[in-house]
Amino acid sequence: MEHDGTESRDTLPVSSWEGAFFGAGWQPGGSVLDSTDVVHGHRLTTVGVPEERQIAEVAALADRTRRQWWSLPPENRAEVLRRAAELLITWREELAGWLVAESGAVWGKALWELEGSAAELNEAAELATLDTTVEADSPVPGRRAEARRVPLGVVGVITPWNMPMLLAVRSVGPALATGNAVLLKPDPNTPVSGGTLLAHVLRRAGVPDGLFAVLPGDADTARSVVDAAEVTAVSFTGSTSAGREVGRRAGGGLKKCLLELGGNNPFVVLDDADPVTAAEAGAWGGFVHSGQLCIGVGRHLVHRSIAEEYVAALVERAEALVVGDPRHGGTQIGPIINRTQHERISSIVAATVESGARKLTSREPEFPFHPPTVLTGVRPGTPAFDEEIFGPVAAVTVFDDDAEAVGLANASEHGLSAAVRSGSEERGNAVARELRAGMIHLGDQTVNSEPKLPFGGFGQSGNGGSFGGVAGVEAFSTWQTRTVTGPGRKFRF
């Protein structure tokens, strides 16, 4: 990636963010954080990590700036978001390069993420002009009564590394559309592709300085964002364990908290499904982006009568996928984000095999890569069934009837996404109705999302669908009731 340091239409100015964070424009932090190439380990650039004092100053400025933003005509806010969506596409080649380098995305996944991010911003623009006013008949003579949605104030957004751009704009877009200011804390693995780049895009699109900030750092930075007095709501996407801590801190301040957490998603293949095409879908859902997606297929639940054919087709696909540097055009499976996660995936596979499961694929992991892996004989109580692996591991469990399939699918503390494959839509629907998940896909696999539809889960996967379409209005605004009473009202005393 070569840059000339100018903020032209076709390049991104790396020189402006070296050692800086984005608050009231670019400013130096108290320390720096390296942006690192996932495969080769070398430093790409540095960003600034703000001190607690600086975060407090940025939050106070955001609170002042948001009032002017909310006073703009809704179409003005919508137009800024549309311009931002256009810039994501205009700069997509350079932006995709950062996603490949920092997050390990293969090129196709990086471009898909940018297209999805642009779609999220365009959907947010529609929310800006949505009329939410509700009029009501009042029993008081001479009174008009209505309710409308108003901004929450300053929203803290904390995002992960696996879809750094998309999972940022999924919150940032609707929050800005509904009149809020935003403090974004990107994951330390992806400070540029998950935050710095978005600051450039939004600033260029017309978001006023002070309204949107990017605050890189670790858990200490996240805690400072959640605790900031001006922050009235927090949107967190990440692991269930970290989400619990964010929820506790936000709840202590009586702040609204939107949590989209982990998943251990079931892919149910009934006996009337075609096992080969089902395995194609299962391979995609389980191995795409090296399995590092919260909505990826976690558990392959397959009817015993077709399990042998399904597993054979799944193994064949797994062995054929090209693993390597995502910069290479033919690569299908890129690296694992860091050594800690790589070791965790390998340990889950080893422990599951020790418990009696079989590993049917031949390739062995070598950091930073983990090849697609197929395990059979996986049952409840084994790590690959009980835990969210977050890696390219297909854990196959067989069942004998639909009731057992439902029981296995629901045998998880998570409830994010689920999918059912059946030759009969009626039968598939009957199974789907029994599944405990926030999103269910018939005839497909679990990796699906639509900008216009709510996204979220049950149980330890979060507190409901807070993103997508009108759910964004519900998430980032609140009701305000107004009455207007004419003169001459009589009171009892």
Domain CATH code at residue 418 = 3.40.309.10
| Residue 34 burial (CB count, 10 A) | 12
What CA–CA distance (Å, rounded) separates 410 from 398? 15
What CA–CA distance (Å, rounded) separates 197 from 93? 13
What CA–CA distance (Å, rounded) separates 465 from 455? 5
Name the one residue in this structure whose structure tokens are 């009564």: 145
Residues 243 and 370 in one domain: no
Asked about 257 being catalytic, the answer comes back as no
What tokens were used for 308? 């042998």
Q: Say which range, 7-16, 203-212, 424-433, has the weakest mean pLDDT.
A: 7-16
Residues 364 and 388 in one domain: yes
What tokens were used for 488? 């001459």
Catalytic residue among 294, 387, 388, 474: 294
Name the one residue in this structure whose structure tokens are 């900031």: 228
Closest among 355, 356, 361 to 394, alpha carbons compared:
361
- CATH number, domain at 172? 3.40.605.10
Has residue 7 got a pLDDT over 70? no
Could you tell me the CA-to-CA distances from 301 to 18, 145, 308, 395, 396 in Å, in that order? 48, 53, 12, 8, 6
Partners of residue 399 on adjacent β-strands: 303
Residues 284 and 344 in one domain: yes
Segment 113-119 shows an average pLDDT of 98
What CA–CA distance (Å, rounded) separates 443 from 449? 15
Task: Note the pLDDT of residue 491.
Answer: 87
Task: Note the pLDDT of residue 469.
Answer: 87
Residues 344 and 196 in one domain: no
Task: Note the pLDDT of residue 9.
Answer: 45
Task: Note the pLDDT of residue 490.
Answer: 84
Residue-wise pLDDT for 213-238, tens only, equals: 999 999 999 999 999 999 999 999 99
Report yes or no on 8 lying in a domain.
no
Task: Note the pLDDT of residue 466.
Answer: 82
Residue-wise pLDDT for 77-109, tens only, equals: 999 999 999 999 999 999 999 999 999 999 999
Phi, psi (deg, nearest 5) at residue 358: -120, 135
Residues 247 and 272 in one domain: no
Report yes or no on 236 lying in a domain.
yes
Closest among 222, 184, 224 to 203, alpha carbons compared:
184
Helices (H), 355-440: 383-386, 402-409, 425-432
Give the rounded percent of residues in the chain with a pLDDT score beyond 70.
97
What CA–CA distance (Å, rounded) separates 375 from 393? 7
Residue-wise pLDDT for 322-377, tens only, equals: 999 999 989 999 999 999 999 999 999 999 999 999 999 999 999 999 999 999 99
- At how many degrees (to 10) do helices 275-287 and 304-320 cross? 50
The total domain count for the chain is: 2
pTM of the entire predicted model: 0.94
Residues 328 and 434 in one domain: yes
Q: 149, 137 in Cβ contact below 8 A?
A: no
| Residue 111 burial (CB count, 10 A) | 18
Has residue 42 got a pLDDT over 80? yes
Has residue 135 got a pLDDT over 60? yes
Closest among 342, 343, 347, 245 to 292, alpha carbons compared:
342
Asked about 113 being catalytic, the answer comes back as no
Range(s) of the domain holding residue 469: 14-261+462-480
Task: Note the pLDDT of residue 492.
Answer: 84
Has residue 8 got a pLDDT over 50? no
Report yes or no on 449 lying in a domain.
no
Catalytic residue among 113, 120, 230, 260: 260
Indicate the pairing of strand 134-136 with strand 256-260. unpaired
Residues 27 and 106 in one domain: yes
Residues 363 and 285 in one domain: yes
Task: Note the pLDDT of residue 11.
Answer: 60
SS3 364: coil
Report yes or no on 122 lying in a domain.
yes
Centroid of chain to Cα 234? 14
Residues 24 and 168 in one domain: yes
Report yes or no on 26 lying in a domain.
yes
Mean of pLDDT over the chain = 95
Strand residue runs (E) in 309-377: 358-359, 373-376
Task: Note the pLDDT of residue 329.
Answer: 87
Has residue 251 got a pLDDT over 50? yes
What tokens were used for 371? 């090849």
Report yes or no on 491 lying in a domain.
no
Residue-wise pLDDT for 424-455, tens only, equals: 999 999 999 999 999 999 999 999 999 999 99
Residues 195 and 272 in one domain: no
Report yes or no on 492 lying in a domain.
no
Question: At 379, is the pLDDT very low, low, confident or very high (cuts 50, 70, 90)?
Answer: very high
Has residue 4 got a pLDDT over 90? no
Report yes or no on 22 lying in a domain.
yes
Cα torsion 112, 266, 378, 396: sign? negative
Residues 47 and 146 in one domain: yes
Has residue 16 got a pLDDT over 80? no
Q: Say which range, 55-64, 113-122, 133-142, 310-319, has the weakest mean pLDDT.
A: 133-142
Residues 257 and 307 in one domain: no
Phi, psi (deg, nearest 5) at residue 257: -135, 120
Has residue 281 got a pLDDT over 60? yes
